[in-house]
């Protein structure tokens, strides 16, 4: 079953969620984690909560901080020590929030398309099992939402893929095989790469978000995709799916400041040739992401390498915030990162296939706020569960293809952990390999057991969340400070 189609009225009713302390804890922590949005932009904060309610996978995506608490705090619902974590594996560079929809395509500096993780807002350091368990839970949740017959098979495939890659890398002493276009990475990732090549080559980002008028390219304002009508109990609102609006004068000035500071953070500043980079217009984007749904996000249209309209550039500028804290682990941002923008960009470069998966990736800090800047090219295309559901219904994908995706995701996560440097400076491979080598199958079994025990907690929390929305509305009962 696919997610609700855009424009479909979704009515949520109060569920038979248990009236227990967990419900109060959940509602309180969700408010605390989102208070910055509830205070500064309550409309978007409420829309985020509503967006999280659309299905269990959307809820999973929006509750990374609750997952982190459960795994790290005393008495946490998911707190279960791993016998495969050692002192040397407690400071691995982490994606922070690996899951199926945080995997996608990139076009590197050499023009080759590769598969990599694509969201590093939560990137931090900690035990590698945090990422592995999050990925495995995400695969299971995707399988439930897609109504697969055996979602547990995805968990085992992801964990087994991770272990297999670590052992292979340790034996070869290398960085592993890059998942590039032209290889066979399973139907889902092969499709992702094909569509990225097609849409990127057509410059579809310019078609969607800009228009040409009087021989000049200008930004477009309006709906790119229709919104979703949402209702929970007596509460109702419209949720943006893909909408761009004119920025306020203050926002436009902030965009200009960010762009002025951004070139200095590029891996290779020479990619911005003389004359390129002139700001031709900007818009504010609404409807993207789940965890970052309420975060300020802008599109900037820049002059390309030549005055020709065909090589104009479209950048995304997104404000980034602190990652979910892991108890007992260094709170970031902190040394060696000056701010969250620097943290996200540095970790993305360290964890991806190359430091130039996105040549326009950079960051800037303006007025105490941190921003990540990236290429908005359609060469960057993410795995999309709604598209997978459509392809399953049409018979183009089957359950085995999902298992292959889970396996490939496990391999990819292992490669990221292996090649990136730990907080202490050494690469992660030798430490993880040493922890896993004595009982590789045991790590797979432990991960499967964890998801088996925690997935029902996630399901029950989703019901509690729906009940809270129906009772208290998309503010979750929070009264904004005057």
pLDDT at 171: 92
What are 326-352's pLDDT values in tens digits? 766 667 666 678 899 999 999 999 999
User: SS in 3 state form for 429-463?
Assistant: HHHHHHHHCCCHHHHHHHHHHHHHHHHHHHHHHHH
Taking residues 186-214, what's their average pLDDT? 97
Q: Which of 113, 91, 367, 373 is nearest to 251 (CA)?
A: 367
pLDDT at 327: 63
Question: Is the pLDDT reported for residue 5 higher than 70?
Answer: no
Taking residues 4-29, what's their average pLDDT? 62
Q: How many Cα atoms are found within 13 Å in the side-chain-facing hemisphere of 71? A: 27
Question: Is the pLDDT reported for residue 7 higher than 60?
Answer: no
The answer to whether 390 touches 2, Cβ cutoff 8 Å, is yes
Domain boundaries along the sequence of the chain: 13-472
Band of residue 2 on the pLDDT scale cut at 50, 70, 90: very low
What are 35-79's pLDDT values in tens digits? 999 999 999 999 999 999 999 999 999 999 999 999 988 788 888
What are 246-297's pLDDT values in tens digits? 999 999 999 999 999 999 999 998 888 766 789 999 999 999 999 999 999 9
Average pLDDT, the chain: 92
Say what the pTM is.
0.94
CA-to-CA separations, 196 to 151, 185, 199, 396, 404, in angstroms, rounded: 27, 15, 5, 18, 20
Question: Is the pLDDT reported for residue 445 higher than 50?
Answer: yes
pLDDT at 137: 98
Pairing status of strand 210-213 against strand 216-219: antiparallel
pLDDT at 274: 67
Question: Is the pLDDT reported for residue 11 higher than 50?
Answer: no
The dihedral region occupied by 274, where left means phi > 0, alpha psi between -120 and 50, and beta the remainder, is: beta
pLDDT at 332: 67
Question: Is the pLDDT reported for residue 187 higher than 80?
Answer: yes
pLDDT at 276: 74
What are 359-393's pLDDT values in tens digits? 999 999 999 999 999 999 999 999 999 999 999 99
What are 110-125's pLDDT values in tens digits? 889 999 999 999 999 9
Pairing status of strand 92-94 against strand 10-12: unpaired
Residue 134: its H or E element: helix 128-145
The answer to whether 432 touches 128, Cβ cutoff 8 Å, is yes
Q: Which two tokens stand for residue 177?
A: 């095989």
pLDDT at 275: 67
d(CA 133, CA 9): 34
pLDDT at 8: 35
């Amino acid at each position: 079953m696919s997610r609700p189609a855009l424009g479909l009225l979704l009515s949520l009713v109060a569920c038979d969620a248990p009236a227990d302390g967990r419900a109060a804890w959940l509602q309180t922590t969700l408010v605390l984690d989102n208070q910055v949005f509830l205070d500064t932009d309550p409309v978007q904060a409420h829309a985020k909560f509503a967006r999280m309610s659309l299905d269990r996978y959307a809820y999973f995506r929006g509750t990374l901080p609750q997952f982190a608490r459960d795994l790290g705090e005393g008495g946490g619902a998911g707190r279960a020590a791993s016998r495969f974590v050692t002192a040397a594996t407690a400071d691995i560079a982490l994606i922070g929030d690996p899951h199926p929809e945080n995997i996608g395509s990139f076009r590197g500096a050499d023009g080759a398309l590769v598969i990599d993780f694509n969201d590093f807002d939560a990137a931090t350091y900690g035990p590698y099992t945090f990422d592995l368990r999050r990925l495995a839970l995400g695969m299971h949740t995707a399988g439930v939402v897609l109504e697969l017959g055996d979602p547990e098979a995805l968990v085992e495939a992801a964990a087994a893929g991770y272990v297999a890659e670590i052992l292979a890398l340790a034996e070869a002493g290398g960085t592993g095989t890059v998942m590039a276009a032209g290889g066979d990475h399973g139907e889902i990732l092969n499709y992702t790469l094909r569509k990225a090549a097609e849409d990127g080559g057509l410059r579809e980002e310019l078609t969607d978000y800009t228009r040409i008028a009087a021989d000049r390219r200008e930004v477009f304002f309006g709906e790119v995709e229709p919104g979703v009508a949402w209702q929970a109990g007596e509460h109702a609102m419209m949720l943006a799916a893909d909408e761009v609006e004119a920025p306020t004068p203050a926002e436009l000035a902030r965009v200009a400041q960010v762009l002025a500071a951004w070139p200095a953070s590029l891996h290779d500043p020479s990619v911005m040739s003389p004359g390129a980079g002139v700001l031709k217009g900007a818009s504010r984007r609404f409807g993207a992401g789940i965890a970052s749904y309420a975060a300020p996000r802008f599109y900037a249209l820049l002059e390309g390498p030549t005055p020709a309209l065909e090589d104009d550039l479209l950048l995304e500028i997104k404000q980034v915030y602190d990652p979910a804290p892991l108890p007992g682990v260094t709170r970031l941002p902190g040394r060696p990162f000056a701010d969250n923008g620097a943290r996200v960009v540095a970790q993305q470069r360290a964890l991806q296939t190359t430091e130039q998966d996105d040549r326009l990736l950079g960051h800037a800090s303006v007025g105490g706020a941190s921003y990540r800047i990236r290429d908005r090219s359609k060469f960057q295309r993410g795995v999309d569960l709604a598209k997978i559901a459509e392809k399953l219904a049409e018979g183009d994908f089957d359950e085995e293809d999902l298992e292959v995706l889970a396996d490939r995701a496990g391999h990819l996560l292992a490669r990221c952990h292996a090649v990136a440097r730990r907080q202490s400076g050494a690469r992660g491979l030798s430490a993880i390999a040493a922890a896993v080598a004595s009982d590789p199958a045991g790590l797979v079994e432990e991960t499967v057991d964890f998801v088996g025990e925690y997935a029902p907690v996630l399901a029950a929390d989703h019901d509690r969340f729906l009940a809270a929305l129906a009772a208290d509305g998309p503010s979750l009962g929070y009264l904004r400070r005057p």
